[in-house]
Amino acid sequence: IIAMVEQNVCRYCLDEEPKEKLMNPCRCTTPVHSDCLEKWITLGERSGRNLRCEVCQSLIRAKLDLAPLHTLLMFKGGRKILVWMVLRLGYRAFIIRRLVHRFRPILKKWSEKFAAKRVKFFDMLACVRDSVFVGLFSWLCLQLVLRDLQWFWRSASRFRKEHAVLTFIDEKTMNRIEEQEQEQE
């Protein structure tokens, strides 16, 4: 590490640069490129809040702001995610509608049996069978929609992280953040 400081080598990409192009984002003396730091933050599973140096464990003077959701409309990749989401949900709605139409007689019998005052034993068994069917059918429909929403959220989160903006914090703000962190501990 000492040799890296003397030679002005970025600790992430190991490229040798003039001292003006490198920066020290934390308290340790190993410099980095701002681009390399941004890649390190965005590619890793790090939150934008408590970014810590892996060498000295002090807070990094940078803040990662995820891109807002409306940026999905601005970029081709984001529009593609939205189009796929609309198509998938539309297809799921069509399938669910067809299933409801196909099994409407069973659903109708099921509701009529609960309205009757007196039910025979085999009708009661049929009612239980139909109740299980309706429960499984409802569960399947819910799973299909939830799977699509989960896919959308993961895709949108990945997109927001790819288009995140790294801003560097001045010394005063950094000291205030460290004081707040010490108070919380």
Q: What is the pLDDT of residues 130-155, one digit of tens each?
A: 778 878 888 988 898 899 889 888 88
pLDDT at 185: 66
Mean pLDDT (whole number) for 103-128? 72
Q: Which residues of 58-68 are buried (b: 16+ CB within 10 A; e: fewer)?
A: ebbbbbbebbe
Token pair recorded at residue 97: 């509608």
d(C-alpha 31, C-alpha 4), whole Å: 8
Token pair recorded at residue 184: 């919380």
Total Cβ atoms within 10 A of residue 148: 17
Question: Alpha-carbon Rg of the chain, whole angstroms?
Answer: 28
pLDDT at 137: 82
Q: How confident is the model at residue 60 (pLDDT cuts 50, 70, 90)?
A: confident
Does the pTM surpass 0.85? The reply is no
Report the run of H or E that residue 58 belongs to, with start and end: none
| 3-state secondary structure at position 166 | strand
Domain at 2-66+164-184: CATH architecture? 2-Layer Sandwich (3.30)
What is the residue extent of each domain of the chain?
2-66+164-184, 70-161
Q: How confident is the model at residue 44 (pLDDT cuts 50, 70, 90)?
A: low
Token pair recorded at residue 2: 């000492």
Report the run of H or E that residue 168 belongs to, with start and end: strand 165-168
Q: Mind giving me the DSSP string for 82-148?
A: HHHHHHHHHHHHHHHHHHHHHTHHHHHHHHHHHH-SS--HHHHHHHHHHHHHHHHHHHHHHHHHHHH
Q: What is the pLDDT of residues 8-24, one digit of tens each?
A: 788 778 777 776 677 77
pLDDT, averaged across the chain? 76
d(C-alpha 60, C-alpha 89), whole Å: 41
